[in-house]
Structures are given as structure tokens and as C-alpha cells.
Structure 1
């Protein structure tokens, strides 16, 4: 099955090949169906070498989740320039998120779907990335509120809730965009901003929605 390496390669490069193969196999077939034989063959190494480098299938999966989480977070942060207005920062971050998930559909599936459906240990890895993103978006929303309306004083729990809602919407939209013909990353980003920014604008001007009177 797997081909034994024919030449020496730096450990980091060899490990990258294994993780690339694992992300592709798990992203397309699911964690349960993914076999170490198939991962080794796609990586061009022997199965014992995969175990030598990454210890077990669970450890390999964990390494995939951590790598994909770090790469997505890096892409979003790199796109956001702190010298720009907060609205532009949020837009750039949203675009970067959808661009990355569109360009790395297998990685997104590993991170968002597979990690969350195969036990708490793996879900916790994905949740750590989500918490980091939530903190980042919370700061952007708070900055946007201050810039747009200095007198606006949104409660901290409301800002955090808005950030959580925005991230949840982005994740769902990414799944939809990646499986719907003709929907680009730019389309998905614009849809999310149209959905979110109008509501944020109302909040910042004190125009809060209230529940209708049951009577």
C-alpha cells in the first residue's frame, strides 16, 4: 500500500505531507471511514512512519484540527489592519474567513464538522479556535460601536453575544457557500455583512428591537 520514503526529508516537511493527506482523506470521507493505510499512501510514506511521527489516529486527527484552526485564525488576523476603521476591519476579516474556507474546503470540514462530531476531546480543540475568534470579533464590534456613535454604550454581554451570533452565522454560511454552485466567498461575505451590519447600525443608534406585546 504505502510507499516507503526514498530520500531523507526534514521532519517538518514530512509531517506536513502526512497532515495534508490526513486532512484530505478525513475531510472527504469522515474521521471514522478514514484509514491510516489510505493516509499513508496519499502522503507517499509507510504506515509505520505515520505512527512513528504522529503516534495514533486520534493524535493525527488532533494535529489536523490544531493546524487548520491555527491557519484559519492566522488568515483572518492577517487580513485585518488595525489602522483602518472598525467597519472595514470587520469586512476584511469576514472576507478572509470565507476566502480561506472556500480555498480549503477539506480543512474547513475537518475543523467545523468532523471535529465537532467525534467526541468532546476533538470538539474542545475546535472550541478553542472559536473562543479566540469570538474575542477578536467582540473587540471589533465594540470598536465599531465607539467609532460610529461615541455615546453608544452597548453592554459587554450584548457585544459578546453579537460576536457569537456573527461567528455562528459565518460558520453556517461557509458550509452553505461551499456546497452551493455559484456562491463565491465574496457573495457569502456580503450576505453576512448585510445581515449583521444593518442590525449593528440600529443598535448603535439606540434603535433596539423589543418583543411585541403578547396582548
Structure 2
């Protein structure tokens, strides 16, 4: 299931939607199209047909395929970052916060595989302006993770370490989905979190 409530997808139902509802429907449908076909393999015709709307209606909301794709990546990236942020317990030690953050990340991927494939899958484009959306998501996640590491490490070093943790989580999920392993996200977060903490505990991370 996608990150938005799903209105009916028939052409008649779509024509009755309000502008905000129609935008939600288009984003929801575009998620499936892009995650299955990749950016270059998908077309605005594909999205319009799947949404049950005409191309002029689609272009009223998104002026180009690039605009639609970047908007979708931004929406999904914000949801993933919020899921991680909201899962962090307050007043806990860095180790517990790291494991909780990874648990939210892996839980999001388990529940929303299409979203992860959109952000980081093999069909994700990393070319030109389109790469900005993916990099923005990685930076957003890194800033979120950096906030879990305490305050005694200098800010630039803390952010650098956080990017490494984001890369580890992304690589873990890529292999997880590619191998179709049946894993419990909480258990996986504990295992990966302990590996991360084994390195982090040697640094001046604070409490």
C-alpha cells in the first residue's frame, strides 16, 4: 500500500475528485508505475492510463514526468524520515536510539517496498537534476540519524558518520529485497544496530 489514501481509479471516479484528491491519486498511481518500470521505462501515458485520467488532466497537476518524479521522491523521502524521527524514544542512550531508528527504517521498508524501490532501487535515476531528489532524501535521513548520536562529536563529523549509517541501512535493504528473505524488521534492526554501535561506542558521542 502506498503512503496516501487511495481514491477509486476509474475514469468516472477520477473526474469527480477534487484537485487535492486527484493529486493524491496521481502520486499513488505513479508510485507503482515508477517502482515497477523505473524512471526511464515509465511514461506519462502509463501514469495517466493507470490513474484513469486524460493526459491534459495529468499535466494540470504535474508539468512534466520529471516534476512528477521529483515530487513523488520528495513525498516518500519525507515519510521515511518522519517514520525514523517519530520512532526515537526520548531520554534514552545513543545505542537505543540508533536501534530504534533502524527499526523504523526497516519497518518502513517492510511495509512499503515500492517506496524503497522508488528511492533506492536499480531503476532509480541518478542523472542530472533528477539525482537531486535522491540525494536530498539521503541528506534528510543523515541529518535525522546525526541527531541520534549525541552532541560531543563535531557537527560535520557527526553528519559524515550518519551518512555512513544511512548507506549501511540502504545496502542492507537492497540485499534484503533482492534476496526475498523473510526477516523481522525489529530483529534485523537489533543485529545491524549492534554492528553500528560496536564502532560508534569508541567515539565521543555523548549521552
Q: Could you state the TM-score of these two structures normalised by the residue count of structure 2?
A: 0.82
User: 2:138: which partner in 1?
Assistant: 130
The partner residue of 2:33 within 25, 48, 52 is 25
* Gap runs ≥5 in structure 2: 1-8
Quote the Cα distance in structure 1 between the aligned partners of 2:105 and 2:19.
30
Aligned with residue 53 of structure 1, among 48, 52, 61: 61
Contact 1:177–1:188 (8 Å) recurs in 2? no
Structure of higher RCO (CA pairs closer than 8 Å, 6+ residues apart): 2
Structure 1: which 5+ runs fail to align?
Answer: 144-152, 206-215
Q: 1:62 to 1:114 in 2, by over 3 A?
A: farther
List structure 1 runs of 4+ shifted beyond 6 angstroms: none
Contact 1:27-1:114 within 8 A present in 2 as well: no
Deviation readout 1:135-173 (Å, 9 max, x if unpaired): 222221125xxxxxxxxx545544333212111101111
- CA RMSD across the alignment: 2.4
- Residues 128, 118 of structure 1: alpha-carbon distance in 2 compared, 3 angstrom cutoff: closer
Partner of 2:3: none
Matches for 1:32-43 after TM superposition, within 5 Å = 32-43=40-51
Using the alignment, how far apart are the partners of 1:114 and 1:11 within structure 2? 32
How far did 1:175 drift? 1.1
